[in-house]
Amino acid sequence: MYDYIADRDPVAADALVDRIERKLGLLADNPRLGPSRIGAVGGLRTFTVPPYLLLYQPIRSGIRLVRVLHGARDIGAALDAD
């Protein structure tokens, strides 16, 4: 994802990484902040960093990042493809 964006706009790619890292820090401190995905296995939760969606699981030491998806993607189909 970073490389794709950086090829077109390195400044935007760096800014996106910074935004995602800040949100991950917030989520690590507040793992239940994002809404729970109904029917999700393993307590999967989501948090938006426009235009992306962070999919994560709360764990004892904070969170485990599962996926970063573009918000236009079908979450169920993307997870089924894994």
CATH (domain of 22)? 3.30.2310.20
Confidence (pLDDT) at 38: 64
Confidence (pLDDT) at 57: 93
Nearest alpha carbon to residue 49 among 4, 80, 72, 16: 16
Distance CA 27, CA 33 (A): 6
Structure pTM? 0.83
* CA atoms within 13 A of residue 13's CA, in its CB half-sphere: 10
Tell me the residue range of the domain where 29 lies: 2-81
Confidence (pLDDT) at 39: 65
Number of domains in the chain: 1
Q: Which helix (H) or strand (E) holds 6?
A: helix 2-8
